[in-house]
A and B are shown apart, each in its own frame.
Chain A
Amino acid sequence: MRIVAEHLTHIYNDGTPFAAKALDDISLTVEEGEFFGIIGHTGSGKSTFVQHLNALIRLPSSKKHFHKKRLKKGEIPPPATVLKVGDFDLTDKNTDFYALRRSVGMVFQYPEYQLFAETVKEDVAFGYKNFYGKGKPSEEEVTTAVRGALEAVGLDYDEIADKSPFDLSGGQKRRVAVAGVIVTKPEVLVLDEPAAGLDPLGKQEMMRLLHEIHGSWCKTVIIVSHDMDEIAENCTHVAVFEEGRVRYVLPPSELFQRAEELLSLGLDIPLTAKLVSALKRRGISVDCDFTTEDFIRKVLALRGGGA
């Protein structure tokens, strides 16, 4: 599913003295099959944007929107807001939001805090039953779905299904939480800081897992992250949010060439980008895509082909 947003604005507490503009006329496209990254400061609008994608934040219906503002004579009407996820038009209030939410899975920050059931199986099954559609799934259907989802996140169903989720380690809890979202086989998977708070190996493992899920379960993966190394290593495109606007949408290989600009926005850059600019100051140019692998290859090649 392709995601298209045009002229999307969101104001919290609109019409009150507490009004705060979180998104300011943003336009952004995420193609199907991407591993898309979103970066930006706290409060830059990242979360507000991703919450639109499965209509946790609902847009006002376009018709209503149009009538609400009476235009003065000669005034040009503001450009229409477009927000489409595949065939779902989120500006239309007649859209089947139930089906949309089944297709767009959302994993919040620290999802392990949302575990609630007595057993892992029940917890993962919750979303599946909720999104089953009409009727009730049979016991076998539930078991098959739960088994599949747990195995997709690298957990052993037979070992873990009847345990309490609260007896698991932090990393396992998080994986159970992710399983509880992908169990509905969403086409788009959105994750807010999926690796935050894990230890270094846990982080690596989580990213490896997301790539596996990306290859098999969910066509499009969108991650929100503060970890620039993670972004540089994994993403196909990156959107940089700043004060409710989208500053850049670029592949990491191009984005991190603008190291100076990112630093001036107060954002971090990956280690490879730091090394590239430090080498540049010493008169050595390394043309790499900012992944560790490519950087090492290019640096080693420098020596061979040099002089």
Chain B
Amino acid sequence: MTVQELPENAIEMRNVSFSYGQGGFCIQGLNLEVKKGEFLAVLGHNGSGKSTLARLANGILMPDKGEISIFGQVLDDKHLYDLRSRVGVVFQNPDNQTVASVVEDDVAFGAENVGLDREEIGRRIDFALSAVGMQDYRYATVSRLSGGQKQRIAIAGVLALRPDVMILDESTAMLDPKGRREIIDVVSRLNREEGVTVVLITHFVEEALLADRAVVMNRGEIVMRGTPAEIFSRGDELLTYNLTLPRIGIISKRLREGGMSVGDTLDFEKLAEEIARCVS
């Protein structure tokens, strides 16, 4: 057999439950499939279980019930380290994710840990730094970088392991608009050009709109599924899950309530177009 049949799903969660010990489940009977090469956005209010989901997906936490497979391989103690290197997670706070004082050392940390040889690590650093556009900062001091740059270094550290899946757990929340754009650009390019599967956990509507598909979490369950545009058009439903309509959705809704027949859109140019049509 020469060609191994590749499983279609990068991540598959079947009936997964998890609790942090005292009081109630944090994740309950969750079913989720992330297809290979997909860009998935995960939405949900704080405390809805999004971060727990991220931690379960690369084995930082183990489910109490149910099964998680990564590329068809069940995530268990035996395959933990192997699978973990295929699923990289980038967290929220850039300052908590850098370990070395020089950029190069920081990016190499993960690759050194899995025991790659020197030359290979060198090549991985080249690749990772150029993928995030930080090749000029190879010998820079990490603590002197901006938040967006530090976060790109954190991503590079994950990339050096050549993961097939990247999970970003609100990785843009602490950055300014420019830093946010930097990260989103890098991630969408990796998804498009390198075929990296991306799971993006975010509160920002404009980021979620870039995804192929989105899910909404509430109380540890997935309660809405669809394209981002579909999900944001179901305003009343979003409200019941403690989420808000994006501002543009609120405006078009209020205009409709005021008797102006504008359609639902998340693009301000389109909304302007519709308003123009209505008033002229």
Chain A residues close to B by CB (< 8 Å): 41-43, 110, 169-171, 196-202, 204, 226, 229, 266, 268, 271-272, 274-275, 278-279, 281-284, 292, 295-296, 299-300, 302-303, 306
Contacts and interface: CB of A to CB of B under 8 A. Distances in A.
A41 B178 contact: yes
A279 B275 contact: yes
7 contacts: A198-B46, A199-B46, A275-B251, A296-B255, A300-B258, A303-B259, A306-B279
B268 interface: yes
Given A200-B243, A274-B268, A300-B259, A295 B176 contact: no
A263 to B, nearest CB: 12
Interface in B124-181: 146-147, 170, 173-174, 176-179
Contacts of B247: 229, 271, 292
B260 interface: yes
Contact of A169 (B46, B271, B278): B46
B254 interface: yes
Given A197-B173, A202-B46, A300-B258, 19 more contacts: A197-B92, A198-B203, A200-B203, A201-B242, A202-B45, A226-B177, A229-B247, A268-B177, A278-B268, A278-B269, A279-B276, A281-B272, A292-B250, A296-B251, A296-B255, A299-B279, A300-B255, A300-B259, A306-B279
Interface string B3-44: 000000000000000000000000000000000000000000
A110 to B, nearest CB: 7
A220 to B, nearest CB: 25
Contacts of A201: 45, 242-244
B273 interface: yes
B173 to A, nearest CB: 5
Interface of A is mostly: helix
Nearest to B244: A200
Nearest to B242: A201
Nearest to B46: A199
B248 interface: yes
A282 B273 contact: yes
A238 to B, nearest CB: 16
A230 B146 CA distance: 24
B47 interface: yes
A128 B47 CA distance: 31
B146 A43 contact: yes
Interface of B: 45-47, 92, 146-147, 170, 173-174, 176-179, 203, 242-244, 247-248, 250-251, 254-255, 258-260, 268-269, 271-273, 275-276, 278-280
A278 B272 contact: yes
Contacts of A199: 45-46, 203, 242-243
A65 B265 CA distance: 58
Nearest to B243: A200
B46 A271 contact: no
A275 B268 contact: yes
Contact of B278 (A171, A229, A303): A303
A262 B247 CA distance: 20
A299 B147 CA distance: 39
B199 to A, nearest CB: 18
Taking each of B46, B92, B179, B250, which has the highest tally of chain A beta carbons within 10 Å of its own beta carbon? B46
Contact of A299 (B46, B250, B275): B275
B176 A41 contact: yes
A306 B279 CA distance: 7
Contacts of A292: 247, 250-251, 254
A42 B175 CA distance: 9
A8 to B, nearest CB: 23
Contacts of B176: 41-42, 226
B61 to A, nearest CB: 19
B174 A197 contact: yes
A296 B276 contact: no
Instruction: Give me the 10 closest cross-chain CB pairs, A-B, nearest first.
Output: A278-B272, A200-B244, A282-B276, A300-B258, A197-B173, A199-B46, A302-B279, A199-B45, A274-B268, A42-B176
A275 B272 contact: yes
Contacts of B259: 300, 303
B255 A299 contact: yes
Given A42-B147, A296-B251, A284 B275 contact: yes
